[in-house]
Amino acid sequence: MQENVILDIPESSENGWQPPVLKKEEIPEDPQSCADIFFMQYIICILLLTALFSIRIYDEKIFQNTIAIFQQRTHADSESWILHLIALVQSLWN
């Protein structure tokens, strides 16, 4: 929570000089709700799927190239220790 600090200087001179007073006010945060975030992700997903569908209708070859590039850039080779672990589990299972 954020705080807003206000310097309050008394204006009445009836009681003599008064020192300035610092007052702190809490500023309520404006949290972004989960519904707003979900809605934005939903819209982006629909736009991406619409773009891919339009590319597929327009030219199948471009669509296949796009999918191949996506798979190439997002899929990494499995780590060797994971492959050894899977082989060990399979050997224990049999």
Given this model, what pLDDT does residue 2 score?
Answer: 65
In terms of phi and psi (left: phi > 0; alpha: psi -120 to 50; beta: otherwise), the region of 16 is left
What pTM did the predictor assign?
A: 0.43
Half-sphere exposure of 4 (CA within 13 A, CB side): 7
Q: What is the distance between the terminal CA atoms of the chain, rounded to a whole angstrom? A: 58
Segments of the chain scoring below 70 in pLDDT:
1-2, 13, 27-32
